[in-house]
Amino acid sequence: MSGIIIATVCVTVVGLFVGLFIGFAGKNFAVEIDEREEKIAAALPGANCGGCGQAGCSAMAHEIVEGRAPVNGCPVGGESVAEVIAEIMGQKVEKSEPQTAFVKCSGTCDKAKNKYEYTGQQDCKFLSMTPGKGPKDCSYGCMGGGTCVRVCQFDAIHIINGVAVVDPDKCKACGKCVENCPQKLIELKPKKSKYQVACSNKDKGPVVMKICTTGCIGCGMCERNCPKDAVHVENFVAHIDYDKCVGCGICAGKCPKKVIQKLG
């Protein structure tokens, strides 16, 4: 009986000692968190998408308070969240141009030719390691494996007729699809821009015409007719300079392959 009592006393004493030590350590070694950090974390959307370049919203809040990230650095929250964070930080927010993702390919199943039938795993990263980067004759185009669809947290991108298509109304410009596309076909562009070159094929015109009815052939008609010097052909494919483009649509009208598309 005495042994039980001794054991009980020992356990009680050890428990009290551990409790006191934890309380002391918690009070004296606690890391103080700036209350602004907590407010900013609460203001952020909580998507933890990584579009800001940080591991998550809490990490972003910490970086903002430390002055290592801008108050408008969250692409998902946009201008409204930026204004709230700027008020917390006592700063003025700089206006940023809203962006959306765009897939630079229009080689749908009815326009792009295939070199073989494929029945394996539907994943672009896997397809990029198969012969010829998948079944399509165009080695630069969208493989339609849906990697971008799976990484998008906002249901903003879907495979339609063999090509990924972005819904600009849902897109938050987090950049996950851009980061995960093995073909580097997706880019972020200003939402206000009306036209985009829906092709990334760097082959010469005659080669492109054999494999895709809508591919850019690098003819330069868009470049020669743009009144603002906003379109240039580089590596046999046209590119639009959004800072110069005024959305007149002349390039789209002159494009013989109709690869310059009007959006929205």
Domain containing 70 — which CATH number? 1.10.15.40
Instruction: Report the number of distinct structural domains present in the chain.
Output: 3
- Same domain, residue pair 106 and 175: yes
Q: Does residue 214 belong to any structural domain of this protein? A: yes
Shared-domain flag, residues 53 and 127: no
pLDDT at 105 over 90: yes
| CA neighbours closer than 13 Å in the CB half-sphere of residue 181 | 27
Q: From CA 44, how far away is CA 192, in angstroms rounded?
A: 25
Whether the CB-CB separation of 236 and 205 falls below 8 Å is answered with yes
Look-up: residue for tokens 């070159």? 197
HSE-CB at 110 with a 13 A cutoff on CA atoms is 2
Percent of the chain clearing pLDDT 90 (strictly above): 56
Of the residues 191, 225, 252, which one is the last residue of a structural domain?
A: 191
The predicted-structure confidence for 167-182, as pLDDT tens digits, reads as follows 999 999 999 999 999 9
Domain end position, chosen among 174, 191, 208: 191
Could you tell me if residue 45 is inside a domain?
Answer: yes
In DSSP terms, 101 is beta-bridged to 188
- Is 97 or 148 the better-scoring residue by pLDDT? 148
Of the residues 89, 115, 130, the one at which a domain ends: 89
Same domain, 174 and 102: yes
Residue 248 lies in a domain: yes
My answer on whether 186 and 234 are in the same domain is no
- Which two structure tokens, joined as six digits, stand for 112? 């792009």
The reply to whether 183 and 119 lie within a common domain is: yes
Task: Name residues whose C-beta falls within 8 Å of residue 241's C-beta, 6 or more positions apart in sequence.
Answer: 229, 230, 231, 232
Instruction: Average the pLDDT over 232-256 and give the result.
Output: 95
Q: Domain residues for 246?
A: 193-264
Among 36-45, 57-66, 76-85, 157-166, which range has the highest average pLDDT? Answer: 157-166
Q: In CATH, what number is assigned to the domain containing residue 149?
A: 3.30.70.20
Rg (CA), the chain: 27
Residue 102 and residue 182 in one domain: yes
- pLDDT tens digit sequence for 9-38: 565 666 666 666 566 555 555 456 688 988
- Does residue 210 surpass a pLDDT of 60? yes
126 and 159 in a single domain? The answer is yes
178 in a structural domain: yes
- 174 and 108 within one domain: yes
